[in-house]
Amino acid sequence: MPAQATRKVEEEVEAKEVELFEVYDVVLYMGVIDILQNYNLRKKIEHAYKSLQFDPKTILVVEPKMYDERFIKFLEEKVFPETP
């Protein structure tokens, strides 16, 4: 999936000095290491324990289906958002 980066305008630079719509091609490297983990009894206990302290949807240790949905949502919203 192609990606682009845009230059963020610094506050000190006057607006007329900045070229608008300056776009650069970028390459993103991502690694997903959590797929190597088994969601076993130990992970279920860890999830239950951490759920007592934090919001269960925000902790790292979650069941694989929820992790999958959360990861895909992150990619769609933060990494590859729809451009208007």
Task: Identify the weakest region by mean pLDDT among 21-30, 41-50, 75-84.
Answer: 21-30
* Cα–Cα distance measured from residue 71 to residue 33, given in angstroms and rounded to the nearest whole number: 12
Query: Which letter does DSSP use for residue 73 in this model?
Result: H
**Rounded mean pLDDT, 16-27:** 65
Which of 9-13, 34-38, 48-52, 70-74 tops mean pLDDT? 48-52
* Radius of gyration in angstroms for the set of CA atoms belonging to the chain, rounded to a whole number: 20
Whether the predicted pLDDT of 22 surpasses 90: no
**Rounded mean pLDDT, 1-23:** 59
* Among candidate residues 37, 38, 59, 35, the one with its CA nearest the CA of residue 47: 59
* Among candidate residues 47, 5, 51, the one with its CA nearest the CA of residue 26: 5
Which amino acid is it at 32?
Answer: V
Contact, 67 vs 34, CB < 8 A? Answer: yes
Number of residues in the chain: 84
| Res 58: pLDDT | 84
